[in-house]
Homo-oligomer: A and B are copies of this chain.
C-alpha cells in the first residue's frame, strides 16, 4: 500500500501518544526510538518535543502522532499518555482523551481516579532497578511497554537500541535490551491489552526518510550543493550545524565552528566571495548579532543562506520553546536599506525543499536569504518523501533566463551563480546596472575578473562613489532584484486552498500551516467552509496572489505565534485590510483545536452579519 501523500480528510488510523517526564529522564530517547520504529512501517509519524532549558529537572515531553496518511500537526488530544512523574501527570493528563490509556509509575505519581481513563500503574523505575541495577533504564522499560501496547516487533527495536547505544559499549546495549524485554513482559503480566498490531503493517516504501526539521535543513543544503557552513551552537538550531558537520565532509564540503555568530556569518561571506554556496544556522539571539554582516552581504551582493530556528523571546527568553517572534527582525533587521529574501517553511518536508529554494534564490539574486523555521519544526520529526536524484538539474552559469521552479521530490533545479562572459571580462563591471539588477560575478582566480567588493557605496565597477546620483542609481539597482524576485514569486504554484466563493479566509505563515489545515478539516466537518492562504515567501510577498485571495473575503483571520501580530502588521501595511488576529504567545505551537475554535467563532459572527444585513 505505501504512504499516500495527497491530503485526505478521513483516515482509518490516527492516534497520538505522549511520553512525559522530567528533562534528562530519557523521555526524548524513549519517544524517539518508538517513533523511529513506527516510521519503518507504512504509517506516517510526526513527533513534537518540548523540554526545559535547564540541564536537569523540569517538564519534558515527546508527542508522537501516527496516521495512515500525511500528518500536518501534532494533534490536540492524546490517546495514550505515559507519565514518568507527578508533574508530568499533572501537566499532561488534561490532554488525555476520555477513555484514553494512562501508563504511570505509581512510585512517583498519584493520579485522580475519578477520571475516565484506562489506568495502568507500572513501576518502571523499580523494573529498571530490578533488571539492570539502576533506575536510568526506565525509559527503555517504557519503550518495552509501548511495544507491547502497539505490537511493535522486538528485533527492529533492538537494532535501533544498538544504533543508539552502540558507541557506549556492549554492556550498555545488552542492559537496554534486557530493560526493553522486562518492560514488555511487565505489561503483558499486568494485563495491558495490545490496542493495535503495528507489526502487521507493511514495511515503508523505500523512498521515505524520517527526519527532523533541523535535519531537513542540513540535508536540503547538501542537496542544494552547499559546501561550506560556519556556525556557532545555539538552541534550538544547533543540530543543523551538527548534522552538517557530520555529513558535509562526506561530499567534500567543510564546516567550521567559529568563535561567535558574527564570525560565523563573516566566514560564510568570505566563502561566498570565494564562489561557494554557504549557510549558517542560528536562532534569534544569534541572528541579531548577524545584522551588520547581513547588511554587508546585501551591499556586496553576495549569496548567503541563513536559517533562523525561532525560539521564545525576547533576549534569551525561552530557548527550548517555539515562537514566531523573529519575522519583523528578519524582514527589517538591518540599518539602511538592504534587500533580502525571507522564506518560511511550513513543516519538515517543506523545510527540505525550501532550503534548496533558499540556495537557488540566494545564488540567482545575489543577496541574503533567511529561512525562518522555528523550534516546533526544527525538533519535530516526520516522514519525508525521498527526492528523485535522477531529477536534479543544474542551471548553467551563463544562463540569465531560466525560470527556476520551486523544487519538489520530482524535480529539483539547482541554480549556479551567474558568471561574466569573456566579452564582459574585457571591461568587467561587477555591479553592472542591468535590467534585472543582477550582475554576473567573477569567481576569484578568473583572470581579468578582479574586482573590489566594498560595503561603501560604489559604482558599477565596485569603486567607491558617494555622489548623490550614484547612490540613488545603485540603491535602485539593488532593489530592482527584489522586484524581480517578487515577479518570479507571482508565478509560483498558488498557495491558496478552498472555494473562491467562500467569504471567510484564514492566513498564516510558517509552522502553523498544519494546525490550520487540520482546523479547516474540522470546521468543514461542521459545515463551515473557509479559504486558506499560507505564503512561503514572507518577503517579498506574492502580492497579486494575496490580493486576489483577499478580494472577495468578508472576514480574514490571521494566525500567528507571537504577542504583537507581526505578520498581521505586515499584511495590513501592504493590503490595507482589517483582519481578526489570533495570537498565541506561550512557547507552544497552536493545536488544530485552538484554531478551529477561532474559526467557529468567526463563522458565528459571519452568520450574525448575514442575519443582520439580510
| A residues at B contact (CB < 8 Å) | 52-54, 58, 283-285, 287-289, 291-292, 295-296, 298-300, 308, 310, 312-321, 323, 325-326, 328-329, 331-338, 454-457, 464, 466, 468-469, 471-472, 475-476, 479, 562-564, 566, 569-570, 572-574, 576, 578, 585-588
Contact = CB atoms under 8 A, between A and B. Distances in A.
Q: How many copies does the complex hold?
A: 2
Given A299-B315, A479-B564, A285 B292 contact: yes
A289 B292 contact: yes
A471 B318 contact: yes
A585 B475 contact: yes
19 contacts: A54-B464, A284-B336, A289-B292, A291-B333, A295-B315, A314-B337, A314-B338, A315-B456, A316-B454, A317-B457, A326-B336, A329-B332, A329-B335, A331-B332, A471-B585, A472-B563, A475-B563, A476-B563, A569-B573
A585 B476 CA distance: 9
B288 A314 contact: no
Given A291-B291, A333-B335, 10 more contacts: A53-B456, A288-B295, A289-B289, A295-B314, A296-B314, A312-B471, A316-B454, A468-B586, A468-B587, A570-B573
A321 B287 contact: no
Given A295-B314, A468-B586, A328 B338 contact: no
A58 to B, nearest CB: 8
Nearest to A300: B315
B318 A337 contact: no
Contact of A578 (B576, B586, B588): B576
Given A312-B336, A317-B456, A288 B299 contact: no
A469 B584 CA distance: 10
Contacts of A587: 457, 466, 468, 471
Contacts of A576: 572, 576, 578
A373 to B, nearest CB: 14
A457 B318 contact: yes
Max chain B C-beta neighbours (<10 A), residue from A292, A310, A455, A578: A292
A203 B587 CA distance: 65
Contacts of A457: 312, 317-318, 587
Nearest to A468: B586
B299 A317 contact: yes
A221 to B, nearest CB: 22
Nearest to A565: B337
A336 B333 CA distance: 12
Nearest to A289: B292
Contact of A315 (B298, B312, B321, B331): B298
A559 B315 CA distance: 34
A310 B457 CA distance: 15
A315 B265 CA distance: 14
Nearest to A292: B288
A188 B275 CA distance: 65
Contact of A336 (B323, B335, B475, B479): B323
A472 B587 CA distance: 9
Contacts of A325: 335-337
Max chain B C-beta neighbours (<10 A), residue from A288, A289, A325: A288
A27 B364 CA distance: 46
Contacts of A291: 288-289, 291, 329, 333
Given A332-B332, A587-B468, A563 B287 contact: no
A332 B562 CA distance: 14
Max chain B C-beta neighbours (<10 A), residue from A54, A454, A456, A479: A456
B287 A335 contact: yes
Contacts of A287: 335
A296 B288 CA distance: 11
